C-alpha cells in the first residue's frame, strides 16, 4: 500500500485500487501528481484500475484532458466508481466529452466495477 498526497494506492487480485482523499479538487497540478504517484507505485507494470471517486468534489478542464491522455499510461482498463452524486455528475461529463484510449466505464456498484476489470487482471 502507498499513501500519496491525494490518494491511497494498493494492489489486490491483479487490480490497482485508488481511493482519493476527501474534498479533492483535481487541478492540472493535482492530476499530474496523482498520475506520477500511481505510475511510481506500479513500477512500470500495467494494471486494470479501480478508481474510487467519492472524495472528488471538482475538476478542472485541463486536468481532465491530462488524465485522459498522459494520465492513462500503464492502465489496461479503468473502472470509475462512485456513490457521490457530485462525483457521478462530474464523471458522466468527463466520459461524454472526452475520447478515451482505454476501456473506461463509470459504476455505482463496486461489484459491477470489479466484474468489468476481471478480464484485464493477470
**Cα–chain-centroid distance for residue 96?**
16
CA distance 71 to 34: 8
Cα end-to-end span (Å), the chain: 19
Rounded to the nearest integer, the mean pLDDT of the chain is 93
Closest CA to 5 of 27, 76, 83: 27
Fold category of 2-120 in CATH: Transcription Regulator spoIIAA (3.30.750)
- Cβ atoms of 102 and 77 within 8 Å: the answer is yes
Q: What is the pLDDT of residues 67-80, one digit of tens each?
A: 988 889 999 999 99
- Cβ atoms of 72 and 101 within 8 Å: the answer is yes
pTM for the model = 0.93
What pLDDT score was predicted for residue 46? 96
The residue with cell 498522459 is 70
Amino acid at each position: 500500500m502507498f499513501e500519496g498526497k491525494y490518494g491511497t494506492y494498493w494492489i489486490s487480485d491483479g487490480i490497482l485500487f485508488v481511493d482519493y482523499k476527501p474534498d479533492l479538487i483535481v487541478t492540472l497540478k493535482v492530476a499530474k501528481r496523482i498520475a506520477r504517484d500511481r505510475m511510481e507505485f506500479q513500477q512500470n507494470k500495467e494494471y486494470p484500475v479501480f478508481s474510487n471517486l467519492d472524495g472528488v468534489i471538482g475538476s478542472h478542464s485541463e486536468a481532465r484532458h491530462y488524465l485522459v491522455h498522459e494520465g492513462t499510461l500503464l492502465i489496461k482498463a479503468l473502472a470509475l466508481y462512485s456513490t457521490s452524486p457530485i462525483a457521478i455528475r462530474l464523471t458522466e461529463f468527463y466520459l461524454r466529452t472526452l475520447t478515451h484510449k482505454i476501456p473506461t466505464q463509470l459504476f455505482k456498484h463496486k461489484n459491477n466495477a470489479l466484474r468489468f476489470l476481471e478480464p484485464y487482471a493477470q
